[in-house]
Amino acid sequence: TVRPELRLAMVASRFAELLKETAYSANTTYDDLYDLAMQVRRELPNDQTRELVELISRARTLNYGNDYWRAEGDDRDGGNYKR
């Protein structure tokens, strides 16, 4: 299996890509990342994982409904809104 430290780094990097809305985050959701971060936190209970889980949770809350405003076919360019 993959060491929890490596999985923590993977979750953190995917979180950064999602925050920047890059093409690498197209198939990732905040819910997915939260679930992965919680798995890592159970295996590696420290301040780093606790903080990452909190940050993902906050971002998930702030992002709630964001897809509603994104235009169909909008490839995360942030400039086209449907409403």
pLDDT band with cut points at 50, 70 and 90 for residue 40: very high
Query: The pTM is what?
Result: 0.74
pLDDT band with cut points at 50, 70 and 90 for residue 41: very high
CA 55 – CA 52 distance, rounded (Å)? 5
**What is the four-CA torsion angle of 63, 69, 75, 76, rounded to 10 degrees?**
-40
Query: 37: how many CB neighbours lie within 10 A of its CB?
Result: 24
β-partners of residue 81 are 70
Query: 44: how many CB neighbours lie within 10 A of its CB?
Result: 15
